[in-house]
Amino acid sequence: MADVREQPQETSALAAAIRSGDRAALARAITLVESTRADHREQAHALVQELLPDSGKAVRVGITGMPGVGKSTTIDTLGTLLTGERHKVAVLTVDPSSRRTGGSILGDKTRMARLANDPMAFIRPSPSSGTLGGVAAATRETMLLCEAAGYDVVLVETVGIGQSETAVADMTDFFLVLMLPGAGDELQGIKKGIVELADMIAVNKADGDNLARARAAAGEYTAALHILSPRSANWSPPVVTYSALTGDGVEGLWATVLQHRQRLTASGEFAATRRVQQVKWMWTMLEQRVFARLHGDRATKGKLKQIEAAVAEGTLSPAVAVADIVRLLGL
């Protein structure tokens, strides 16, 4: 990771280097975005603002799935297919639990061996901020920086569970949910909310002895989708089978992503969704800044603990506690 302690380039010079496709400049910029230092955050905000007109043109795809489903292999295979077609592919991961692992870049490159050595690809893990809001905000800004650097496909992988899927769905154009063969067991465990976010369900490992089981699983997932309301009135999520290992069906995944984009663009929904996402991003970043201010000052943290204790003991109502906290913020 780049060392932001070094004297940073002027924002305009760094922006120009990013536009030219300088990978080292992109890495430095992302490190600025991830930094919690006030001066770095100020420079990062100015940089993102300057590069905003150069962003927004990429195809943004979110990818999720249960552990062992083959997310990394899928991204490696799909990304290699796309770079072979002269696309520039950025891979970002969202993992709110990465505070335990440090969000290892080496780990991501090990899991995506071909893309890691592909000059047309760029792999970046999320910062280990320990909070989903912080991870999501940094990932969104990183996505814009990658787009300004000329990456026309951005794949965002959810490594964590729970709210991370919703966060990724809110920052991407297409949300791909990966499943395993053997739907009888998995169907009981899938979360309704995750399936409702899906723009496509893809059953991986449809090869060899698993082929029949994968097709049977696809049939069960198709039946399950029929009882749920789709996210869009202009798109019915398909269920497909593929093999990340052999590459069979991977080209079809990308074709569906493009078909979805074309249909939603024609209806006007694509542009409307992007606008809604921008506003959600604003509120997410505001929440992050407010919490950072609350927990960043030692005296304020002490008062918060006192307020929490009073609420827990029943001597202070939550409503009065909130009013006290708002006063601490000077609002």
Question: 């969202």: which residue's tokens?
Answer: 94
The widest CA-to-CA distance across the chain, in whole angstroms, is 65
Comparing CA positions, the residue from 182, 249, 178, 245 lying closest to residue 213 is: 182
The single residue listed with the structure tokens 């999501």 is: 136
pLDDT at 265: 97
Indicate where the chain has its CATH 1.20.5.170 domain(s): 1-54
Dist CA 126 CA 180 (whole Å): 26
Full strand arrangement of the beta sheet holding 153-158: 121-124, 89-94, 153-158, 59-65, 174-179, 200-203, 239-241
pLDDT mean for each 10 residues of the chain (331 residues): 49 95 95 86 91 96 89 95 98 69 52 91 74 69 96 89 78 93 58 79 92 90 80 91 96 98 97 92 80 76 90 93 86 68
- What is the rounded distance in angstroms from the CA atom of residue 324 to the CA atom of residue 163? 29
For 288-310, write each residue's pLDDT tens digit. 778 777 777 777 888 889 999 99
Read out DSSP for 129-152?
-SSHHHHHHHHHHHHHHHHHTT--
Q: Calculate Rg over the CA atoms of the chain.
A: 21
**Strand, helix or coil at 170?**
coil
pLDDT for 129 equals 54
In the block, tokens 């729970």 appear at 162
Topology annotation, domain 280-328: Helix Hairpins (1.10.287)
Asked whether the beta carbons of 112 and 123 are under 8 A apart, the reply is yes
Nearest to 14 by CA among 2, 1, 4, 26: 26
What whole-number distance in Å separates Cα of residue 190 and Cα of residue 93? 21
- Is the Cα torsion angle 310, 313, 315, 321 positive or negative in sign? positive
Contacts of 202 (CB under 8 A, 6+ apart): 74, 176, 177, 178, 179, 239, 240, 241, 242, 249, 253
Ranges in the chain annotated CATH 3.40.50.300: 55-266
Provide the sign of the torsion angle of the four alpha carbons 306, 307, 310, 311, taken in this order: negative
Query: pTM value?
Result: 0.85
H/E stretch holding 60 reads strand 59-65
For the domain spanning 55-266, the CATH number is: 3.40.50.300
pLDDT given for residue 7 in this prediction = 45
* DSSP annotation of 235: B
Residues of the chain with CATH 1.10.287.130: 280-328
Find out whether 44 and 15 touch, Cβ atoms under 8 Å.
no
Of 88, 23, 16, which is closest to residue 54 (Cα–Cα)? 16
Residue 191 has a pLDDT of 61
- What are the backbone angles phi and psi of residue 94, rounded to the nearest 5°? -115, 110
Regarding the domain delimited by 1-54, which CATH topology (the fold level of the hierarchy) does it fall under?
1.20.5
